[in-house]
C-alpha cells in the first residue's frame, strides 16, 4: 500500500474526527475574531486629551450610545468563543495520540512484515494530523491572543471612561480628580 492509500484509508477512519475538530476550530477562530472586531468597534480607540495640565479620558460616540449590558455581552461572547478555540487547539495532540493508540491496538502482528509496516504507518497518520493542526492553530492563536487581551483592557478603560463621563454629566461639570502630570 502506498503513502496516499494509507492517508486516504485513515481519513475514512479515526482521522475524520480530527478533521471535524479542525473544521469546528476554524469556525471558532473566525467567530472569535469577528466578536473581537465587534468589541473593538464599540470601544473605539482609547481617547485621551490634554486639558491644561491634566489628562481627560473621552468616550467615543459608539461607547456612549451602547449600554453597559450590551458591551458586557459582546465581551462575554468574545471571551467564550476565544476560550472554546484555545481549548480545542490544546486537544489536537491528544486526538492524534488517541488515534495512534487505537490503530496500534488493532495491529495484527501475526501478518506479513509488509502488512505490519503499512498498518504501523497508518497508525501514525493521526499523530501527524493532530500535530499539524495543533501547531497551525497555535500559530493563529499567537495573532489572536494579543487582540483579545487588548480588547479586554480597552473594555476596562472604556467602562472607566463611561463612568467618568456619567459622573461629570451628573454633576454638570468635568471631573477634576485627574492627576497633574506636568
What's the pLDDT at 49? 54
Where does the chain show beta strands of DSSP type E?
48-51, 54-57
Which neighbouring-strand residues pair with 171?
none
Place of cell 476565544: 82
- Write down the pTM of the prediction: 0.73
Alpha carbon distances (Å) from 171 to 10, 11, 165: 70, 67, 10
The tens digit of pLDDT for each residue in 147-176 reads 999 999 888 877 777 676 666 655 555 444
The tens digit of pLDDT for each residue in 108-123 reads 777 677 767 766 777 7
Q: Which residue has the higher pLDDT, 115 or 38?
A: 38
Q: Are 158 and 110 in contact (CB under 8 A)?
A: no
What's the pLDDT at 180? 46
Amino acid at each position: 500500500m502506498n503513502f496516499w492509500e494509507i492517508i486516504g484509508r485513515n481519513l475514512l477512519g479515526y482521522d475524520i474526527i480530527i478533521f471535524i475538530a479542525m473544521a469546528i476550530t476554524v469556525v471558532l477562530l473566525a467567530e472569535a475574531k469577528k466578536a473581537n472586531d465587534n468589541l473593538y468597534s464599540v470601544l473605539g480607540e482609547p481617547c485621551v486629551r490634554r486639558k491644561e495640565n491634566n489628562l481627560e479620558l473621552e468616550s467615543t460616540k459608539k461607547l456612549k450610545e451602547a449600554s453597559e449590558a450590551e458591551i458586557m455581552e459582546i465581551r462575554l461572547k468574545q471571551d467564550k468563543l476565544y476560550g472554546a478555540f484555545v481549548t480545542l487547539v490544546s486537544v489536537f495532540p491528544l486526538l492524534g495520540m488517541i488515534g495512534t493508540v487505537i490503530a496500534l491496538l488493532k495491529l495484527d502482528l501475526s501478518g506479513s512484515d509488509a502488512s505490519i509496516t503499512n498498518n504501523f504507518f497508518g497508525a501514525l497518520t493521526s499523530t501527524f494530523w493532530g500535530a499539524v493542526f495543533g501547531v497551525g492553530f497555535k500559530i493563529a492563536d499567537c495573532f489572536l491572543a494579543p487582540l483579545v487581551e487588548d480588547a479586554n483592557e480597552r473594555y476596562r478603560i472604556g467602562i472607566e471612561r463611561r463612568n467618568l463621563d456619567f459622573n461629570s454629566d451628573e454633576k454638570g461639570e468635568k471631573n477634576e480628580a485627574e492627576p497633574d502630570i506636568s
